[in-house]
Amino acid sequence: MNTIAAIWHHPGTPPTGAGAGNYPVAIVAIMPGPIGQLAVVVDSTGRISTASTSELEVVDAGVSDAIGRGQQRLTGR
């Protein structure tokens, strides 16, 4: 997977300890989680975290569309 630029709309305290807010991150992987999909993200300090995909806003609409098409193919829709 190519790295994807995104904004993490984090409702709580992220690993940086900065509190709730919007953080620029790079999505480096997406994996199944216990209740939906999780993304492995890297923030501007280089810290690696997991984020719910529902909290992430992909910056490039073309990338977002491509992810949606890929997920549809994988699920057979």
28-62, pLDDT tens digit by residue?
999 988 888 899 998 888 889 888 898 998 887 66
pTM value is 0.66
CA atoms in the 13 A half-sphere facing the CB of 72: 7
> What's the pLDDT score for residue 16?
55
Q: Would you kindly state where each structural domain of the chain is located, as residue ranges?
A: 4-75
- Does CATH place domain 4-75 in 2.30.30? yes
Average pLDDT over the chain reads: 79
Residue 13: which of 47, 57, 63 has the closest Cα? 47
64-77, pLDDT tens digit by residue?
676 667 667 766 65
